[in-house]
Structure 1
Amino acid sequence: STRHQVSNVRILDQSGEEIAVSAYFTVWRFRNGRDDHYVGRYDYRLRRTDGNLRICYKRAVMDMTVLRPTGAVSIIL
């Protein structure tokens, strides 16, 4: 199973058509009797479409220096 925690969501800029947002994340994965965790920051650009906010850009910036012990990181996206 996988658990995601997003915190410290901050609006950085909302002067144009898009809203720039940053947020910090922790992701835990429990698989094959092992638990791995990933930490970092998300950078988003949101756009208003039909009265809703839509993600038009997302970037995950890892705070980890080594990925080898944890394996695949596709769960972060």
Structure 2
Amino acid sequence: MKYIIFEDFSGRAIPVLFPDRIEHGELREQLPYSTVLSAGYVNHSGGGFVCHGEAKSLGAAAGQGDAAVIERHFQQGEP
């Protein structure tokens, strides 16, 4: 899967996960958030989420804390 982590209007990091067949740039155009914090690819292994790669079209890459942001989002049950 692919992902983009945006900064929402209150300053929180919001991850959006989506299928590989959708381009990072295409999804970016559909969302109102102004700031892309990071983007790349995400896999879920037995030990949790693993983020890697980059989204050249956004000028963003996977960040060291991205897996933790995604994990936290699922644990908190946020929409």
Question: Normalization by structure 1: what TM-score?
Answer: 0.33
> Larger Cα Rg: Structure 1 or Structure 2?
1
The structure in which a higher percent of residues are strand is 1
Question: Normalization by structure 2: what TM-score?
Answer: 0.33
